Amino acid sequence: MSLIRTENLSKRFGDLEVLSDINMTVNPGEVVVIIGASGAGKSTFLRSLNTLETITSGKIYVEDELFVHAENGEIIDSMDKEKHKALLLEMGMVFQRFNLFPHKTAKENLMLAPINVRGLSPEEAEKKALELLERVGLSDKADVYPSKLSGGQQQRVAIARALAMEPKLMLFDEPTSALDPELVGEVLNVMKDLASQGMTMIVVTHEMGFAREVADRVVFMADGIILEEGPPEEIFTNPKEEKTKQFLNSVL
């Protein structure tokens, strides 16, 4: 059973086609890393999976059940609202910007959704929050506000916050692009740890070392289409498409 699958997924903004006929399957426990130049459609694809963007046409399946089906800009079929909402909660997302609540401590940022959405008691939510902060190496920052944390620390809190909802799938949209170079490693290490523990992940990133080391599959996107995909060694050492070669030559 696939965890998430798209069929002929397309997205337009007016006359601009940002995604065209994207077909992708991600299986449980798989780490898929999407690479490509800015404007290739990578982030739009990621945001389409959890309906932050409404697709123009195509189908998205979650655990082999139809999640949403659109044609010509209209949703023509989707699962019932309660199940749709439940499945959205199974997708954690980490953005370029950390989006932490500035008036809440690190621990409180992690507790909000489990209490308000999952119905955990404050005691249960606090216990989970502290465990997750320890998992991302920030147990000593539980009572610290975001403004007192480095960018890398804030992003690790954001990852922990997504994990607090116990997702089956984690979506990462260039999670290190807003960080100073010396802080990138601490976030990538948390992501590597997640991957080693079997978390299903779709990662949009410009970190080629991470893609090469951690991905089960690398997907190269250009001009809104999947141009090439395969195991990291195949993509990085023997790319078939000229655009893939040009991109890799520019970033490696």
Q: What are the tens digits of pLDDT across the range 58-107? A: 999 999 999 999 999 999 999 888 998 998 999 999 998 888 999 999 99
Looking at residue 126, its pLDDT comes to 97
Q: Is the pLDDT of residue 1 over 90?
A: no
Give 19-51 pLDDT, tens digit per residue: 999 999 999 999 999 999 999 999 999 999 999
Mean pLDDT value of segment 50-56: 94
Q: What whole-number distance in Å separates Cα of residue 129 and Cα of residue 139?
A: 9
Over residues 99-119, mean pLDDT: 96
- pTM for this model (two decimals): 0.95
Q: What DSSP state is assigned to residue 149?
A: S
